[in-house]
Amino acid sequence: MPDAASRKPTQSAQNPAVTGQISMNYKWSRYLRLILAILALATGVGAIFGYPVEGLLAGLLLYLAWTLAQARRLYQWLSHPGAGQEAPESIGLWGDIFDGLHKLHQSHLATQDRLLAQFNRLQESTNAMRDGVVMTDANGVLVWWNGSASYLLGLQRQTDRGQPIQNLLRAPAFKAYFDNRDYREPLELNSPARSHLHLQIQISLFGEDDRLIVVKDVTRLFQLEQMRRDFVSNVSHEMRTPLTVISGYLETMVDYSDELPARWKRAVETMAQQSSRMEALITDLLLLSKLETGEQHGAEVPVDIRTMCEQICQDARALSGNSRHEFQLDIGDRHHLLGDEDQLRSAFSNLIFNAVKYTPAGGNIFVTWFTNRDGAHLSVKDTGIGIDPIHIPRLTERFYRADPSRHKETGGTGLGLAIVKHVLLNHDGELEILSEIGDGSEFICNFPRERLAEPDPADESASETSDEV
């Protein structure tokens, strides 16, 4: 009965690498013995004739000539290793080298064919996509694109390969989007090849700062959105006139409510309140529609933020009434902003009035305007009920209500923050919202430095110093 040692495979049998190393060492030692035997034979032949050293040199020269001949055959084969061409045949060490290189070459060809097949399949799949896919290098030079990109962007394979994409898509918005390197949000623009198509472009970075550009045809969604805007605008316009008439009669009835029967008095007052609320809703809808379409965009002039905020806070105190909110207004030195005064007033009013509506009686409201190297900022902070952070990403959506019951109490339209968002977009700004339940809320309007209509005192002092020098 064999013992355990005999049943257990040896280490070399378990490890192919060890087995290969042993085989290589054996072949190498055998090859060395063969060379030494040949040189000894050459030396012996030379000794027979009385020239042992010359015989050894002759053997070395013959071996060197044979080695150079094998090296030349290897060089020729490596220069033109055709797919069907066999490696040269030889003996000894050179025979093993030729066999090993031939196997490596065949493995390389098989891998190349497999990768080429996968690449062709990838190309076929991307060409079947309805979305355009474009690959560029770090400088925007076109490397590859699929058939949909050719259709949507008008790219020509014969002439456009190797061209910078900025030279083919000449829209200033695309160039700014490409160079800005902020690809969190997609870009929408009309197709340069087909003006009736509306495209959405999303860029992603990969590799060594290369770009992958995905182009989607969103014409249908764009048309639906435009139809929605037109519908809202038209309906709001049509509703405004009859609602104005109804509100006028209701106001008259409220003025003479003492002459009405008791059961009608409350009904008339309720109708008057709801008609006012509907008027506010229609006004906000029309304003939002104009902001979205660009109709509500007057001439940009330097706007005095200090004066505007003082007036809005005065109106907010009247809105507060018996709630007696405390207002703290802090406006920095550089308080002139380049923009549309009506739009800015609408946005700031919405933020400050919302703070009044959602802050308990006796609470504090802080209105702060400050500037720094990032730009200009208006902060409206309150000590109100706060907002659950889960609602913050959706607060600027139309009619989104974090707490519907509170909106019924305050009479809000649900469009205030949507108006603020679009006003800031028209002024190259963004809205930042910070809030926790029970800790109040802070709404910050961030504007770029280019929007400031006053020079930075630090820049002026630096300029004066350089002039003196």
In tens, the pLDDT along 171-229 reads: 888 888 888 888 888 999 998 888 889 999 999 888 888 899 999 999 988 888 778 77
Instruction: Pick the closest to residue 140 from 182, 98, 169 (CA basis).
Output: 169
* Cα 136 to Cα 250: distance, rounded to the nearest angstrom: 65
Q: Do domains 130-217 and 297-451 have the same CATH topology?
A: no
E-strand ranges in 74-186 read 132-136, 142-145
Burial-class residue 387 by CB neighbours within 10 Å (0-12, 13-18, 19+).
buried
Q: Pick the more confident residue, 271 or 307.
A: 307
- Name the residue with tokens 């809703």: 281
Q: How many CA atoms lie within 13 A of 97 on its CB side?
A: 16
Tokens of 231: 């519908």
pLDDT at 276 over 70: yes
In tens, the pLDDT along 320-345 reads: 888 888 999 998 888 899 988 888 99
pLDDT of residue 26: 65
Contacts of residues 106-114 at CB distance under 8 Å and 24 or more positions apart, as own/partner, are 109/83
Share of the chain above pLDDT 70, in %: 84
pLDDT of residue 377: 93
In tens, the pLDDT along 231-244 reads: 777 777 777 778 78
Angle of the 16-48 helix axis to the 92-127 helix axis, nearest 10: 140
pLDDT at 289 over 80: no
How do the domains of the chain map onto residue ranges?
12-117, 130-217, 231-292, 297-451
Residue 445: pLDDT band by 50, 70, 90 thresholds?
very high
In tens, the pLDDT along 346-378 reads: 899 999 998 888 888 888 999 999 988 889 999
pLDDT at 298 over 70: no
Residue 446: pLDDT band by 50, 70, 90 thresholds?
very high
| Range scoring the smallest mean pLDDT among 14-23, 67-76, 305-314, 424-433 | 14-23
| Range scoring the smallest mean pLDDT among 82-86, 229-233, 266-270 | 82-86
pLDDT at 147 over 80: yes
pLDDT at 83 over 60: no
Average pLDDT, rounded, for the chain: 80
E-strand ranges in 18-58 read none
Residue 311: pLDDT band by 50, 70, 90 thresholds?
very high
pLDDT at 77 over 70: yes
In tens, the pLDDT along 391-403 reads: 888 888 877 776 6
pLDDT of residue 10: 47
Residue 81: pLDDT band by 50, 70, 90 thresholds?
low
Taking the mean position of all CA atoms in its chain, how far away is CA 69? 61
Q: Pick the more confident residue, 416 or 446.
A: 446
In tens, the pLDDT along 8-57 reads: 444 444 555 566 566 666 677 777 777 788 778 878 887 888 878 887 88
**DSSP readout, 353-415?**
HHHHHTS-TT-EEEEEEEEETTEEEEEEEE-S----GGGGGGTTSTT--S-HHHHHHHT--S-
pLDDT of residue 465: 44
In tens, the pLDDT along 390-438 reads: 888 888 887 777 665 555 555 566 788 888 898 898 888 999 999 888 8
* Cα 416 to Cα 355: distance, rounded to the nearest angstrom: 12
pLDDT of residue 304: 92
The fold of the 297-451 domain, in CATH, is Heat Shock Protein 90 (3.30.565)
Share of the chain above pLDDT 90, in %: 12
CA 39 to each of CA 55, 57, 68: distance values in angstroms, whole numbers, following the listed order: 8, 9, 17
Q: Pick the more confident residue, 72 or 12.
A: 72
pLDDT of residue 65: 85
Pick the CATH number of 130-217 from 3.40.50.1360, 3.40.220.10, 3.30.360.10, 3.30.450.20: 3.30.450.20
pLDDT of residue 412: 62
pLDDT of residue 13: 47
Instruction: Pick the closest to residue 215 from 161, 177, 261 (CA basis).
Output: 177
Read off the pLDDT of each residue in 287-305 and give the average, rounded to a whole number. 74
